[in-house]
Amino acid sequence: MKRKITLKQIAQELDVSISTVSKALRNSAEISDDTKQKVQAFAKLYNYRPNNIALSLKNRRTNTIGIIIPEIVHHFFSNVISGVEHVANKRGYNVIIGLSNESFSKEVINMEMLANGSIDGFILSIAKETQKLQDYHHFNETMSQGMPIVMFDRVVAEINCDKVIVDDFNGAKKAVEKLIKNNCKSIALITTNDYVSVGKLRTQGYLEAFEENGITAEPKLILKIDDTLDNETQLDVLENEIEQLFKSNKSIDGVFAVNELYALLAMKVATKLGLEVPEDVQVIGFTDGVLSKHSTPRLTTVRQHAHRMGEMAAQLLIDKLESEYDTIDEEFQTVVIPTELIERESTK
């Protein structure tokens, strides 16, 4: 077991000083060609690579991005990470992940853990609990220490930082308009509680589409699901709620769901109740997920472009990190990623 070789060791072997070795390896003009050759050959032989940690300490930058997300076992978030990683790697950065698990305290702890020198900046999406508690002190604290943050998807107006969001409002609106144009007369909405920012925006898009088309929204057609409990055991509960929605509103001929699972369950329930999709009920979901691609019938969805969001977030962050004049550049931008309606088989 041979430890990685250091400048010091090379210097000793070659009987020169450490700084000479350092300069030789960086091809400094100060060093004679002779020594350079000698040093470089030796370094190559022993596969010398500068130690990242030492560099980080010296340069006060780690070339590492921290990403904090609520969960990773989720198509949307893993896609975002993939986008972040793509840009980060291309620009010479590593990515370190922290999972909040939708918990406020884990989010805080994770951020503190990483903020102590491990990373140069954060990309994050806020945990549900944090959104609920509306306690954002940890974001402000890290930023006041000069560590930039880019928020994506689940953002919050109170924090002044770069943001990347999906056009939830218009995405939802366009989806509902599509249903209206397709002649749906009774369009249900399956959404989450309002404290989830994206759920709220998508709900507003639904309402706006109604308004612009002179339709009055009926509260009984709106099902708000408490998604603090959306794990496996709750699947039946969920399905049941949706079934009740259908049963007490036989008129329903269109459904807009704010995520993939709700949309799929809506299709399932509809089929179970003897309705055909899309003949009797048309369904649209809001997602990048895989379920919709492989469901029967395949689900029409509003695409979020998660991968692109990740790329954009990474780009914003790294640009900020590498902007020399960080005093001037203290204006933040919010990039809106347009959605795209992917028409598949669950709509006419």
Partner DNA sequence: TTGTATGCGTTATCAA
Partner DNA sequence: TTGATAACGCATACAA
Binding stretches for DNA (CB under 7 A): 6-8, 15-20, 22-23, 25-26, 29-35, 48-51, 54-55, 57-58, 60
Overall residue count recorded for the chain in this entry: 348
Burial of 171 (0-12, 13-18, 19+ CB in 10 A): buried
Considering only the stretches 18-26, 142-150, 151-159, 195-203, report the one whose residues sit in contact with a copy of itself under the rule CB under 8 A: 142-150
Residue with tokens 């918990």: 103
Q: Which two tokens stand for residue 7?
A: 């400048």
Q: Which two tokens stand for residue 227?
A: 């998604």
Nearest Cα to 302, choosing from 159, 174, 185, 204? Answer: 174
Q: What is d(CA 258, CA 302) in angstroms, rounded to the nearest whole number? A: 9
Binding at 6: pick from DNA, a copy of itself, none (beta carbon under 5-8 Å per type): DNA
74 is an interface residue for a copy of itself by CB under 8 A: yes
Considering only the stretches 15-23, 29-37, 75-83, 154-162, report the one whose residues sit in contact with a copy of itself under the rule CB under 8 A: 75-83
Binding at 71: pick from DNA, a copy of itself, none (beta carbon under 5-8 Å per type): a copy of itself
Q: According to CB under 8 A, which one of 29, 73, 157, 328 is a site residue for a copy of itself?
A: 73
Binding at 341: pick from DNA, a copy of itself, none (beta carbon under 5-8 Å per type): none
5 CB neighbour count, 10 Å cutoff: 16
Task: Write the binding mask 86 to 105 for a copy of itself: x where contact by CB under 8 A, - elsewhere.
Answer: ---x----xxxxxx------
| 278: preceding bond cis by omega (within 30 degrees) | yes
Q: According to CB under 8 A, which one of 78, 103, 186, 249 is a site residue for a copy of itself?
A: 78
295 is an interface residue for a copy of itself by CB under 8 A: yes
**Would you say 120 or 168 has its CB closer to a copy of itself?**
120
Q: Which two tokens stand for residue 50?
A: 């500068």
79 is an interface residue for a copy of itself by CB under 8 A: yes
**Would you say 78 or 193 has its CB closer to a copy of itself?**
78
Please name the amino acid found at residue 340.
Answer: E
Q: What is d(CA 27, CA 44) in angstroms, rounded to the nearest whole number? A: 14
Asked whether the beta carbons of 213 and 206 are under 8 A apart, the reply is no
219 is an interface residue for a copy of itself by CB under 8 A: no
Nearest Cα to 259, choosing from 334, 196, 332? Answer: 196
8-state DSSP, 283: E
The residues of the shown chain that bind a copy of itself, judged by CB under 8 A, are 1-4, 47, 49-54, 56-57, 62, 64, 71-75, 78-79, 81-82, 85, 89, 94-99, 110, 112-118, 141, 144-146, 232, 261, 264, 268, 271, 290-291, 293-296
